[in-house]
Structure 1
Amino acid sequence: MINFTEEQLMIRDVTRRMASERIAPRAAEIDETDEFPWDIVELYKQNGTLKLVLPDEYGGVGADTTTLCLVMEEIARVSASCSCIVFSTEALIHILVRSATSEQKDRFFPRLSQGDKISAFVLTEPEAGSDANAMRTNAVLEGDYYILNGRKCFISNAIVSDFYLVFARVKTLDKKKGISAFVVEKDTPGLSMGKKENKMGLRGNTMADLIFENARVPKENIVGGEGEGWKILAQVANQMRLYGASAMGLGIAQGALDYAVEYAKQRYQFGKPIASLQGIQ
């Protein structure tokens, strides 16, 4: 059994209250309209939700994986779509904390410390996802820039992000050894948006394709160096499965159970709440 720290419990309780009082009343409308909830981003800014992983000196709290799991679970309990905003943003910060140089941290973290920046984790391609080694997006170093070409798909936060953590293969290296990670900013020349997915769930989250056509990325934006992308995926990004799909799935399940229990208490048949009937119990 995990013994949570006082700080973790405080963050969980603040997030639970924020989710119940502010996000839950908006959830149905977000789902129906499929519009990105900028008001929720402002709410996250007020509560520091998008910068939890940042070190203390940059305005965060240095949140660990357990803390992120608690936050993701509480938000997903009322809106899986709104939890995706946090997930991808904190994932980029988490990877930079673990893998970026001091110069990169000093360059990116002050901007992320404002608490209103959104990020995307950019790995999946039409023919590569879980099989990351099959990716075709490539990068070639030309002078002071890497030139990226390729297409990514099913990218959460794609249309609204300020920063993208993009995985591409450096052409001069072989297969797995060539996979590298790059921080790409939204106004990068050669970066454009493809089709926006019309989803059954997670509506309101802007999942779309990203297209790189000779996109020029400063060479100092490569994370960990050429060929370090696979190591980052295996040793750092794997933790995303915990505070991503796992914590979100738990939150969704808890939300469904909470809703069902409350309904069973309110729905009357045979003169009493159906919660009292053996078949429901």
Structure 2
Amino acid sequence: MLFLTPEQHDIHQRIKALVREKIAPLARHIEATPEFSQEAYEALAGEKLFCLSMPKEYGGMEGDATSLALMVETIATASPSAALMVFVTNAVVRTIAITGTREQKKRLFGELKTGDQPMGFCLTEPDYGSDAAGLQTKAEPTEGGYLLSGSKVYITIGPHGRYYLVFARTGPGPKAAGISAFLLDRHAEGVVFTPPEKKMGLHGSITSQMFLDNAFVPENMRLWPEGEGWRVLADVSNPMRVWGAASLALGTAQGVLNDCLEHATKHRLFSEQAVAFVLADMEMNIEACRSLNYRVCRLVEDHRSSARQVESMVSMAKCYAADTAMKVADLASNVLGNEMARADNASAQLFRVAKGIQIFDGSNQIQRLIVARNLAAKGRELV
């Protein structure tokens, strides 16, 4: 059971109603069709969910990590693709809210508030995924700003955004030292997107590669000083993994359980002990995952823990949630039987989503590496 503030409870109830009335009826089509769902976008935008993390003074709801996690989890129970769309935009919005200048906030939030398109996050490159600090996209100084050249891969929302948070190298420093963060206008000359990638799951979340050929970014669209881009990522963006990927995985797991419960009830399977025990295992794993996830959300917001502790706990939340989603989706075959073999089966769709979450937004192997590294540092302090 979650203990929510009245504001968090109100947000949660509104989102549950939205999912029930507008997202769930579209979910099968969204998850099976590799195209941008304008209908889902309009439903989410109608409730101003792309503005959930936006400060109130700019017309947003200033939702905290718990509110954002509730949003992503609840939407993901029906459609992880729709949840991913709104989670990525809020990740960029929250980054701007924390690191942006007043001029940047006024301009960008004003456009988003009036119903403009979602935003994208551009870090990974063809040769640099887990080793993101080695990225090679260049930002060359020019009159009034920078010219960006290079390529980015796995861009959620593909060409359907307006602004993209792009990390590029402005200096020759070792790895992270020379990276800066920019807000790139989709309509800048020299920005080209490939057709959507064919993925194992999350088909309704468009994923494309971006090519940059001397794309101009004004100097006033750089976040923080030149060379501070890695700090934007490490101190600001990484903690969002708990209400982002971890909550997406949690919602995916809950969606699988909901599907299995419906099937077991319809076919009167609860009297079968083997099936009942599988459902019980699913529920226990999901509730343990939910407890960890919302504990870490509170940790991110209270600002009293060390950076190392927050980093470790966020990594634990993402890794554990993704593994839980995969485990629950795998168990579903013991309840659904042959139905799980159908490509359009809801749990089969979510099985493919769960595997994807183990890979993206920092693979689970990288999350374990982070936890182990911080444990080693803790161990040295005890000796």
- Length-normalised TM-score, structure 2: 0.70
In structure 2, distance between residues paired with 1:11 and 1:44: 13
How far 1:206 sits from its partner (Å)? Answer: 1.2
Name the aligned partner's letter for residue 276 of structure 1: S
User: Could you say which residue in structure 2 is the equivalent of 1:270?
Assistant: none
Q: Which moved more, 1:171-180 or 1:148-157?
A: 171-180
In structure 2, distance between residues paired with 1:159 and 1:142: 25
- Length-normalised TM-score, structure 1: 0.94
Name the aligned partner's letter for residue 178 of structure 1: G
In structure 1, distance between residues paired with 2:26 and 2:49: 18
Structure 1 position 278 matched with structure 2 position 273: yes
- SS state at 2:270 partner: helix
In structure 2, distance between residues paired with 1:31 and 1:112: 25
How far 1:172 sits from its partner (Å)? Answer: 5.2
User: Could you say which residue in structure 2 is the equivalent of 1:19?
Assistant: 19
Decide whether the 8 Å contact of 2:34 with 2:196 is kept in 1: no
- SS state at 1:276 partner: coil
Structure 1 position 84 matched with structure 2 position 79: no
In structure 2, distance between residues paired with 1:115 and 1:67: 21
Deviation by residue 1:129-161 (Cα, 9 ceiling, x = unmatched): 221111010101111120100010011112211
Unaligned runs of 5+ in 1: 268-272
In structure 2, distance between residues paired with 1:5 and 1:215: 45
Deviation by residue 1:97-134 (Cα, 9 ceiling, x = unmatched): 11011221122121122244300011011111221111
Deviation by residue 1:199-233 (Cα, 9 ceiling, x = unmatched): 12100211000000011111110001201111011
| Higher RCO, 1 vs 2 (CA within 8 Å, ≥6 residues apart) | 1
In structure 1, distance between residues paired with 2:235 and 2:29: 38
Matches within 5 A, 1:225-264: 225-264=225-264
More helix by share: 2
- SS state at 2:180 partner: strand
Decide whether the 8 Å contact of 2:117 with 2:160 is kept in 1: no
Unaligned runs of 5+ in 2: 277-383
Q: Percent identity between the aligned chains?
A: 38
Q: CA RMSD in A?
A: 1.4
Decide whether the 8 Å contact of 1:44 with 1:115 is kept in 2: no
Name the aligned partner's letter for residue 145 of structure 1: G
In structure 1, distance between residues paired with 2:191 and 2:117: 18
- SS state at 2:216 partner: strand
Deviation by residue 1:52-85 (Cα, 9 ceiling, x = unmatched): 1111121111111111000000001100111111
User: Could you say which residue in structure 1 is the equivalent of 2:183?
Assistant: 183
User: Could you say which residue in structure 1 is the equivalent of 2:216?
Assistant: 216
In structure 2, distance between residues paired with 1:222 and 1:207: 24
